[in-house]
Chains A and B, each alone.
Chain A
Amino acid sequence: RFFPDPSSIPTWMSNNAPPGAWDGYRNFTGCSPGKTYDGLSKLKNYFQHFGYIPNSPSSNFNDDFDEALESAIKTYQKNFNLNITGELDNTTMNYIIKPRCGVADIINGTTSMNSGKFNSSNEIHTVQH
C-alpha cells in the first residue's frame, strides 16, 4: 500500500497494524546453546538466508541450538557491532527482528563487513628497542 504522506493513513489502520514477519522470533530470546527449542529451525533459515550458515540445505535444519547456530550468531553480532556472546540476548534479538534488505550480508562465504576483516587480536605486536 502506498500512502502519499503519513497524514493519509487512516486511524483504523494505525490501530490494527499487523505483526511483522519476524516478530515471532522474539520467543527465542534467552535460548541457550546445547538445548532444543520448538521452531528454532526457522531462525536457522533466517541466518542461512543472510549468509551466516553456509552450505546447508534449509530443509535439513532441526530445532537444536547447535554449534553452527552459535557461530552464526557470533558472526552476526560482529557484523552489527554487538557484544559477541553467541547467545540470543535481548539486544541481538532486537536487531534480528528489524526490517532489513533482502540481500545477504555474507555472499558465497565472503564479506568485508566486520566479520570478514582482519582480526586485530591476531596481529603480532612488536616493540622496538
Chain B
Amino acid sequence: YTFFPGQPRWPAGTETLTYAFDPNENLDDSTKQVFANAFNQWSKVTTITFNETTSYNTADIKIGFYSGDHGDGEAFDGVLGTLAHAFSPTDGRFHLDKAEDWVVNGDVTESSLSNAVDLESVAVHEIGHLLGLGHSSIEEAIMYPTISSRTRKVELEEDDIDGIQNLYGSNPNFNGTTTATSRDRDSSFGVRHV
C-alpha cells in the first residue's frame, strides 16, 4: 500500500464522515445504496463510519458524475480510459465519469456490453483515496490503479486493510475477515487461510 505525499489523513479523532451526492444528479436509491455498500467495505476494517447527508455543501465527501472538463483540472476522457478520480484528505471530492456505462447491481461479468463498468468496484477504490491511500502495485488489491471492464472487485485485500489500519487503526469488531465466505484472514500472524 502507499500513501499520498505527506501522508494526509482525516484529523485524529474523526469517527464519522458525511457524504452527499451532487443534487443535480437525482440518483435513485439503488445507485446510492451501491455507494453505501462501498463505504461499508472500509468501515468494517477501520475506525471511521460514513453517513449520507442531504446537505451537499457541508458534506465531508461530495460525490458527482461529470463529463469532460468539469472544472477541477482533471478532465474526463469519454468511454473507458479514466473512470473516476478522488482527492486526498481532507478535500473530499469524488468524481466519476458520466460517459461510462455503469452497472449498478448484478453480475457485471455477465454483461453483454464490453464497456460495462461495475460501479461499486470503482467506488470502493476511490474511497480508499478519499481516506488517504495511494495506488498499490499488488494486482489483487483494491488500490491497484487499473480495473478491466466487466470486472467486479469490491473486497478489501490484506494490503488495503494493512494500509488503512496504518492510517486510522482497526475497527474493534474487525476479526480479520472481510467476507464470511471467501476468506479467513488471521490478523494475529498476518497469514491468510483460504
A residues sitting closer than 8 Å to B (CB atoms) are 1-7, 9, 11, 13-14, 17-23, 50, 79-81, 95, 98-103, 105, 107-108, 110-114, 116
Indicate if the CB atoms of B136 and A113 lie closer than 8 Å.
yes
A21-B78, A99-B80 known; 18 new pairs, CB 8 Å cut-off, are: A3-B113, A6-B113, A11-B112, A18-B115, A20-B80, A95-B146, A99-B81, A99-B117, A100-B146, A101-B85, A101-B126, A102-B76, A102-B82, A107-B134, A111-B134, A112-B3, A113-B134, A113-B137
Interchain nearest-CB distance for A44 vs B (Å): 16
Per-residue interface assignment for chain B, residues 4 to 16, with 1 indicating a CB less than 8 Å from any chain A CB and 0 otherwise: 1100000000000
B27's nearest neighbour on chain A, judged by CB, is A2
Indicate if the CB atoms of A21 and B106 lie closer than 8 Å.
no
| B145 proximity list for chain A (CB < 8 A) | 50, 100-101, 103, 105
Interface status of B102 (Cβ within 8 A of chain A): yes
Question: B4 is contacted by which of A13, A107, A116 (Cβ under 8 Å)?
Answer: A107
| B86 proximity list for chain A (CB < 8 A) | 103
| B103 proximity list for chain A (CB < 8 A) | 3, 5-6, 9
Interface status of B186 (Cβ within 8 A of chain A): no
Per the 8 Å Cβ criterion, residues 1-52 of B in contact with A are 1-5, 30-31
Interchain nearest-CB distance for B81 vs A (Å): 3
CA distance A110 to B4 in the complex (A): 9
The number of inter-chain residue pairs (CB within 8 angstroms) is 137
Interface status of B157 (Cβ within 8 A of chain A): no
Which residue of A80, A102, A113 has the most chain B CB atoms within 10 A of its CB atom?
A102
Interchain nearest-CB distance for B117 vs A (Å): 7
Q: List 28 A-B contacts (CB under 8 A).
A: A2-B104, A3-B116, A6-B103, A7-B106, A9-B101, A11-B112, A13-B101, A13-B113, A17-B113, A18-B115, A20-B81, A21-B79, A21-B80, A50-B145, A79-B137, A95-B146, A98-B147, A99-B147, A100-B145, A100-B146, A101-B129, A101-B145, A101-B147, A103-B86, A107-B134, A108-B5, A112-B1, A113-B137
Per the 8 Å Cβ criterion, residues 117-132 of B in contact with A are 117, 119, 122, 125-126, 129
Give chain A's interface secondary structure class: loop
| B80 proximity list for chain A (CB < 8 A) | 20-23, 99
Interface status of B90 (Cβ within 8 A of chain A): no
List the 5 shortest-distance A-B pairs measured between CB atoms, nearest first: A21-B81, A5-B106, A20-B80, A102-B85, A6-B111
CA distance A72 to B103 in the complex (A): 34
CA distance A92 to B89 in the complex (A): 32
| B129 proximity list for chain A (CB < 8 A) | 101, 103
| A99 proximity list for chain B (CB < 8 A) | 80-83, 117, 146-149
Indicate if the CB atoms of B2 and A111 lie closer than 8 Å.
yes
CA distance A116 to B136 in the complex (A): 11
